[in-house]
Amino acid sequence: MTTKIEKIIYQAHAKSTGGRDGTTRTSDGLLDVKLAVPKEMGGPGSGINPEQLFASGYSACFLGAMKFVAGAQKIALPADTSIDATVGIGQIPAGFGIEVQMNISIPGMDKEAAQALV
């Protein structure tokens, strides 16, 4: 199923140079970081890596979507709701793939209600 966005309300732009050993910077300059290959992949681990950025963005966006759904359903989402995201990278037959695992914490909400929200 393909869903087309009717009206784009926001676009983010970032420019990366040098790949995993380079830099990435958002157009507004609020994010400007040195990238480095993690030690686990044979690199120096001296900078942030793309998987860390992906985990941060994915978990923040997912939590934002949960807040939207909770609001539409008149459900109070606790302020300390959090998402712990883990992004893994590894080989697949066609090259490399990524996987994401999210552990969602909604303190004070019973498991059934939390699962329905997610």
CA distance 57 to 85: 9
pLDDT score of 1? 73
pLDDT score of 2? 81
> What structural domains does the chain harbor?
1-48 (2.20.25.10), 49-118 (3.30.300.20)
- The tens-digit pLDDT sequence of the chain (118 residues) is 788 999 999 999 999 999 999 999 999 999 999 999 999 999 999 999 999 999 999 999 999 999 999 999 999 999 999 999 999 999 999 999 999 999 999 999 999 999 999 9
What kind and span of H or E run contains 14? strand 14-17
pLDDT score of 83? 98
